[in-house]
Each structure stands twice: as C-alpha cells, then as structure tokens.
Amino acid sequence: MAITSEGSLAPLPMSPPHKGKGDLLTMWLYLAALVGLYYLLRWYRERQVVSHLRDKYVFITGCDSGFGNLLARQLDLRGLRVLAACLTEKGAQKLKGQTSDRVETVILDVTNTQSIAAATQWVKERVGDRGLWGLVNNAGTFHPFGYTDWLKIDTYMSTLQVNLIGLIEVTLSMLPLVKSAQGRIVNVSSILGRLAFFGTVYSCSKYGVEAFSDVLRRELQHFGVKISIVEPGYFRTEMTDLQKASETMKQVWKEVPPHIKETYGQKFFDAYFENMKNGLLQSSTNLNLVTDCMEHALTSVHPRTRYSAGWDAQFFFIPLSYLPTSLADYILTRSWPKPAQAV
C-alpha cells in the first residue's frame, strides 16, 4: 500500500508479469508451426503437375553429354516430345541410341548465328501452332583453370561467347515460339553465378546468365512465360573431367608470361594444382540432382525461380553468400597458397 496526498492508503501499482519459460516455449512452437505450414503448402503447390505433357515440346541445348544428355532421356521417359540439340553428329547418334523415337536431334553451335537460325526454323516446323513449351539453355563450357592474370583474352571471349552470348541469342531466337505456348525457359547457371571465388570468366558468364534471367522473368510475366534458373554446385561431367582439367591447367601455367609467373612461383602453382584436383575428385556424380530440378521447372504448375542443385550448393555456398563479405572471403581463401611475392 502507498499513502496518497490526502493521507489515505492506495494500492501499489502492479508490475507487469515476467514471461516464463512456458511463454517462450509457446512462442517457438508457434513459429515452428508457421514454418512447417509454409513448407507444407509449398510442397503441395510444387507437386501439382502440368496437364497434357505428352503434347508438349521441349528444346534442350548441349545434349551430347552431361546434364543435357541425361535430361533428354529423363523427359523422354516422362512422355514429353524432346527436341535435343547436340554440337556433334557423334553426340546426336549416341543420344538417339539411348531414347525413343519421340526424341529428335539437331546439330547446333550456339556461337554461330546461322546455326541458331537454322535450329529455330527446324523447331518451328515441328511445334507448329502449339509453340515451344520448354527451352532449356544447358550448353556451356568451362575455361581452363587458372588465376585471372594467367588467362589470355581469347579465353575470356570464347567462354563468354558460349555461356552468355550464345544463351542470349538462342533465347531471343526461340522466344516467339515460347510466348506462343506460354511456356518455360530454364537457364543453367552455376553456384559461381551466386558466389564468385574462382574461375573469373566462368563466374562472369554465369553472373550474366543470372542477370539476363532476372530481367527476362520480370519482363515476360504478363505473357504467361515462366523463367527458372538452375544453379548446380560441383558435379563431375565431361566438362570437368579430371584428366582434361589437369592437362589444361599445366598448359595454361606453361603459357603464363615469365614476369607474371615469377610473382606466383612454381610452389604456388603446385599447391593450386593439388587444390583444384582435390576439388574435382570431390565433385558429385549424381547428375540427377540437377536434371530433377530442370524437370520440375518444366513440369510443375508452380516452378521455382531458382533451384540450388547439390548438397554443397544448398548447405555451404548459398548460406555463405549471405554472410558479410569479409567473413566469406576469409572462409573461402584461408587455405589458399600464398604467391612467392606476396606482401
């Protein structure tokens, strides 16, 4: 009790009750329930499949091997009409021997404008008024491993020509057919398109793919066209074959100008070479982790905007990309060798 100005007694004000452990537990349970409900609803939405898949055409680039080859076979089993573009006749013949008669092949060089125009006309003759339901830009190349100042400008130009300029030109050429079907475009990027820490020109090309896809998605939303980006982590394909990569790394180092080579030193290259080899050896061989993302983007009523393919992408590189830059730099480079003339 307290004494008032008139001398009477008045009750003391009540202090607010403290939240106990039970209240905090309840709050966390509500939060967990909301998160669980969100993922349950997303799972339900993403399980809805597009109807009449057997009547839909999908054009895939880079089907000689790797992701493109596997995706063509995977979609063939789903009953879709696959139009597979291969760089070589050998790759096309190999794919034909692995698939049904529903799969048709065409030779395509994504760096050649005339080749792209011819492939587009070939696709148009087959899809007719139905349009092209799916365009999968999978064709790509990986430049020789090496530091930024080890590589020649020709390497930069050729990599960008395949991975970015070729992808853009194929998309623009096929876009009227995709619009006609209110279809899908699936662009294969890379985890290096989200977090660049080696492979300068490759990362640049994939950052370009991300930017092109983001702008295109926003511009085409009123045409009923959906754009998805697939960002694989480390996977073992012909493009990252260990023997070929080892040979090209050695060749790149051999051609580095002497004044640049002196700043790094032979011991640096040897350590770098071993790090790259170990990274390739640890690459995943389960290519279905990537092609399942592509298939979902093409067949789900509600495809995702981005797909992170591979455990390394989902649980290491993507979370790492949200850290402060200085911390991410430390984590990524702490084990790197030091150049001979490091300051």
Whole-number pLDDT of residue 313: 94
Asked if the model's pLDDT at residue 214 lies above 60, the reply is yes
Separation between Cα atoms, residue 149 and residue 158, nearest integer Å: 16
Asked if residue 10 has pLDDT above 90, the reply is no
Question: What does the alpha-carbon distance between residue 312 and residue 191 come to, in Å, rounded to a whole number?
Answer: 9
pLDDT of 19 strictly over 70: no
Task: Give mean pLDDT, residues 141-145.
Answer: 80
Q: Tokens 């009790």 appear where? A: 1
Cα separation, 327 vs 135, in Å, equals 38
Q: Is 141 helix (H, G, I), strand (E, B) or coil?
A: coil
194: which DSSP letter?
T
pLDDT of residue 48: 87
Q: Which pLDDT band, with edges at 50, 70 and 90, does 144 fall under?
A: low
Q: What is the pTM of this model?
A: 0.87
* 304 in Cβ contact with 298 (< 8 Å): no
Residue-level pLDDT at 151: 93
Residue 105: beta bridge partners? 84
Active site residues: 202
Q: What is the dihedral of CA 19, 21, 23, 27, to 10 degrees?
A: 120
Token pair, residue 57, equals: 């055409």
Confirm if 312 and 241 have CB atoms less than 8 A apart. Answer: no
For residue 20, is pLDDT > 70? no
Mean pLDDT along residues 69-82:
96
Q: Mean pLDDT, the chain, as a whole number?
A: 91
Name the band, by pLDDT with cuts 50, 70 and 90, for residue 42.
confident
Per-residue b/e over 181-192, b at no fewer than 16 CB within 10 Å? Answer: bebbbbbbbbbb
What's the pLDDT at 132? 98
Q: What is the mean pLDDT of residues 324-342?
A: 93
- pLDDT computed for residue 7 by the predictor: 53
Q: How far apart are CA 130 and CA 132, in angstroms?
A: 7
**Tens of pLDDT along 80-124?**
999 999 999 999 999 999 999 999 999 999 999 999 999 999 999
Mean pLDDT of 178-186: 97
Closest Cα partner for 95 from 136, 63, 123, 61? 63
pLDDT band, very low/low/confident/very high, at 23 (cuts 50, 70, 90) = confident
Q: What's residue 240's pLDDT? A: 79
Residue 24's pLDDT band (cuts 50, 70, 90)? confident
Does the pLDDT of residue 15 top 60, yes or no? no
The pLDDT > 70 percentage for the chain reads: 94
pLDDT digits (tens, 9 = 90+) for 277-305: 888 888 899 999 999 999 999 999 999 99
Q: Is the pLDDT of residue 158 over 90?
A: yes
Residue 125 has pLDDT above 70, yes or no: yes
Contact criterion met (CB below 8 Å) for 190 and 163: no
User: How wide is the angle at C-alpha 265 spanned by C-alphas 259 and 267, nearest 5°?
Assistant: 165
Arithmetic mean of pLDDT, 212-241: 93
User: Confidence band (pLDDT; 50, 70, 90) for 39?
Assistant: confident
